[in-house]
Structure 1
Amino acid sequence: MSDDSLLQVRDLHAYIGSPRGVVKAVDGVSFDLCAGEALGVVGESGSGKSVMARAVMGLMPTRSARTGDVLFKGRDLLGLRKKELEEVWGKQIAMVFQDPGRSLNPVVRIDRQLTEGMRRHLGVSRSEAQTRALALLKEVGVPDPERRLRAFPHELSGGMRQRVMIAVALACEPDLLIADEPTTALDVTIQRQVLDLLRRVQTERDMSLMLISHDLHVVAGRTDRTAVMYAGRLGEIGTSREVFQHAQHQYTHALLAATPTIDQERHGLLNVIPGSLPSPTDPPPGCRFAPRCGAATDACLVGQPPMVEIRAGHAVACLNPVDAKEAEFVGR
């Protein structure tokens, strides 16, 4: 554990009750996030990325349970009551959700949604909150910010709503910003603008960032470290350069191989990962990727591989890691 760790997650489990049984959405995840660091979390849809982020914040649905340790600045968030968590949300940890159209209140003007948190957590006056709100909209690149402050969410485009969501998340100067699939449903041009904006404000404010995405290219080049999740568990974690250029987990390697590249044959077949994610209510006993893995052995079907550091800062949970020479990839 580093001395400058802002967030320490240890053996985190997040289970959710369902008509089909208990969903083991997050099943023993551990990692650190340092102050001022950008961490990318990638994996297929259904791998547990979003639930992990919500479990960290305490935004779990009813009929759910969390165990493990989530230490933020040394304080155990899992032991806090809702009223205590409300003092953490926004002020210390903020979240940008997938769909800003559903996250913003449709009947409340933008200025109120920006200023409420500031007045509650920072204790500023109404006029000061309005001034700060205007500055925030300018910072995140909202055009004509004076007019946008008086607008309702439905009067803004999807890209503008996402920028407003980022402004809301930044309003109380949080130490950690969690961006959960922040470019969902945006066209590629707006996606890049939003991602570049997140990286810029994270760097300028010396803020920690957790960027969650199923798209490898989203985190490549925009994060310091990358964690790869599969079926509720971490398979690999390391510096983004190490993970993308020298992937060692068979799942990470398969993901990279399935990523289209600009020099790929125009009408050629795309690489795919055979099979599908295991049932979250009845996962296999061994490595959860083993049923889809061409390198799996009998040992992979029996016990979960431990997370082992193969290089300084690069760890993998795989009994048959990929030769680094076979896993080269350069993110765009």
Structure 2
Amino acid sequence: MSDDLLLEVTDLHAYIGSPRGVVKAVDGVSLQLHRGEALGVVGESGSGKSVMARAIMGLMPARSDRTGTVLFRGRDLLGLSRKELHDVWGKQISMVFQDPGRSLNPVVRVERQLTEGMRRHLGLSRSEAASRALDLLKEVGVPDPERRLKAYPHELSGGMRQRVMIAVALACEPELLIADEPTTALDVTIQRQVLDLLRRVQTDRGMSLMLISHDLHVVAGRTDRTAVMYAGRLGEIGASREVFEDPRHRYTSALLGATPTIGHERHSPLNVIPGSLPSPTDPPSGCRFAPRCAAATDDCSAAQPPLVQIGTDHAVACLHPVNETQREGELVGR
């Protein structure tokens, strides 16, 4: 593991038991994250992005199973006990969840939720932790921070709760921050503020960031590299600019083709990806996007395409990758 490589995930599987069978939420994902790097993870809802993040953190439900390796600073997190993981959470890896209203304790004041981790992991006194909590609220742009420290979460707006959640995640100076759909249920203006805040604190602190979203616009321009997931597997990964400007996987191209643009003709139909995500308990063989792909052949259903390097920092798992003269507008609509 190189000195600048912070996280290395290899052949990660995360299966969850359900009444309908075993949900193959994450099914063989491999990726790397370097120190100080921002990685975007995109895909439709249900593609396995959030479960992958929870599998990395060790926050899986009781009826679940994880295999593979998750090396963080060379240490395999999958082999750690719950007690050992408590020393990792907050201090080394922190997570900003989708819904701060559910993640923050509704009956505990903001100050205590900010200071608990600092006193445990950093050994700060009550007054030192309170002073740092105030500084954190200022850093994340919470107005009137002295008053907000004494507030309960329900007394704050959605945007303020998310800023508090980010402050909680930053409290113990983690090396990796995982932001799982951090703009869910926020209006457009607040979404942009929160996303810009995440990018700013990540850059200022030199920490690594994994930004998870179903919205391509969220990760575009705010990440160094982007990974595209579909039905529990990785379809494409590479430098963000290259992935967005020259997508090679058919699914990535279809996602971009279905995204409205400012130049879209008024009242004209939008491009759509036909069909829906396959059942996670009974996924199709081979490429899981094949049933929805107009370029699919019999070979696509025979075996899962391997992730093949096609550039210095670009890899794709597709037997019929998009080339420079093709765009999914011509191919979707099978």
For residue 3 of structure 1, report the CA deviation from its aligned partner. Answer: 4.0
For residue 325 of structure 1, report the CA deviation from its aligned partner. Answer: 3.8
User: Letter of the aligned partner of 1:195 in structure 2?
Assistant: L
User: Partners of 1:268 and 1:9 in 2: how far apart?
Assistant: 42
For residue 4 of structure 1, report the CA deviation from its aligned partner. Answer: 1.1
Paired position in structure 2 for 1:206: 206
Indicate if the aligned counterparts of 1:26 and 1:51 stay in contact, CA closer than 8 A: yes
Deviations 1:251-296 (Å, cap 9, x if unpaired)? 0000000000000011110111000001100111110000000000
Paired position in structure 2 for 1:85: 85
Deviations 1:14-58 (Å, cap 9, x if unpaired)? 000000000000000000000000000000000000000000000
User: Partners of 2:282 and 2:86 in 1: how far apart?
Assistant: 34
Paired position in structure 2 for 1:44: 44
1:194 and 2:213 aligned: no
What is the TM-score normalised by the length of structure 1? Answer: 0.98
1:135 and 2:135 aligned: yes
Aligned pairs for 1:228-247 within 5 A: 228-247=228-247
Q: Secondary structure at the match of 1:324?
A: coil
User: Partners of 1:225 and 1:26 in 2: how far apart?
Assistant: 20
Please provide the CA RMSD for this pair.
Answer: 1.1
User: Partners of 1:6 and 1:132 in 2: how far apart?
Assistant: 26
User: Partners of 1:224 and 1:39 in 2: how far apart?
Assistant: 6
Unmatched 5+ residue regions in structure 1?
Answer: none
Which 10-residue stretch deviates more, 1-10 or 272-281? 1-10
Indicate if the aligned counterparts of 1:2 and 1:34 stay in contact, CA closer than 8 A: no
User: Partners of 2:266 and 2:33 in 1: how far apart?
Assistant: 40
Q: Secondary structure at the match of 1:50?
A: helix
Identity %: 83
User: Letter of the aligned partner of 2:148 in structure 1?
Assistant: R
Indicate if the aligned counterparts of 1:246 and 1:325 stay in contact, CA closer than 8 A: no
The number of aligned residues is 329
What is the TM-score normalised by the length of structure 2? Answer: 0.97
Paired position in structure 1 for 2:71: 71
Q: Structure 1 stretches (4+) deviating beyond 2 angstroms?
A: 324-328
For residue 324 of structure 1, report the CA deviation from its aligned partner. Answer: 2.6
Q: Secondary structure at the match of 2:107?
A: coil
User: Partners of 2:105 and 2:310 in 1: how far apart?
Assistant: 47
Deviations 1:287-308 (Å, cap 9, x if unpaired)? 0000000000000011000000
For residue 326 of structure 1, report the CA deviation from its aligned partner. Answer: 3.3
For residue 327 of structure 1, report the CA deviation from its aligned partner. Answer: 4.5
User: Letter of the aligned partner of 1:158 in structure 2?
Assistant: G
Indicate if the aligned counterparts of 1:246 and 1:327 stay in contact, CA closer than 8 A: no
User: Partners of 1:48 and 1:104 in 2: how far apart?
Assistant: 24
Q: Secondary structure at the match of 1:53?
A: helix
User: Partners of 2:291 and 2:55 in 1: how far apart?
Assistant: 28
Indicate if the aligned counterparts of 1:16 and 1:23 stay in contact, CA closer than 8 A: yes
Paired position in structure 2 for 1:258: 258
User: Letter of the aligned partner of 2:210 in structure 1?
Assistant: M
